């Protein structure tokens, strides 16, 4: 039985948790939830795909830069929240 790769699962969990928290803090309608989740997922994938690293010696489980993924996800979430969709 094959499952998700550890990096895929970690990115999915980071994006989902960021999107849920952003919806609680910034959301107004339920339809924004999907938009928040897509924005958070894109932010996490960009950080992972570009291998963005801050000059800190932080662990990167499954080669996923956790802090950078969260920061980029939140940056995109704030942009999406400002669109007032």
Domain residue spans of the chain: 8-52+60-82
- Its pTM stands at 0.87
Rounded to an integer, what distance in angstroms lies between the CA atom of residue 83 and that of residue 75? 13
The mean pLDDT of 54-72, rounded to a whole number, is 88
pLDDT on residue 85: 57
Give the list of residues 6+ apart from residue 21 with CB closer than 8 angstroms, or none.
none
DSSP 55: S
pLDDT for 49 beyond 80: yes
Rounded to an integer, what distance in angstroms lies between the CA atom of residue 7 and that of residue 48? 9
Per the CB < 8 A criterion, the answer to whether 37 and 81 are in contact is no
Consecutive H or E run containing 69:
helix 66-82
């Amino acid at each position: 039985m094959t499952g998700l790769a550890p990096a895929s699962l970690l990115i999915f969990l980071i994006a989902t948790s960021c999107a849920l928290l952003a919806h609680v803090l910034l959301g107004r309608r339920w339809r924004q939830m999907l938009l928040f989740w897509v924005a958070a997922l894109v932010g996490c994938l960009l950080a992972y795909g570009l291998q963005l690293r801050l000059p800190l010696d932080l662990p990167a489980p499954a080669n996923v830069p956790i802090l950078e993924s969260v920061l980029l996800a939140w940056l995109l979430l704030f942009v999406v929240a400002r669109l007032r969709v």
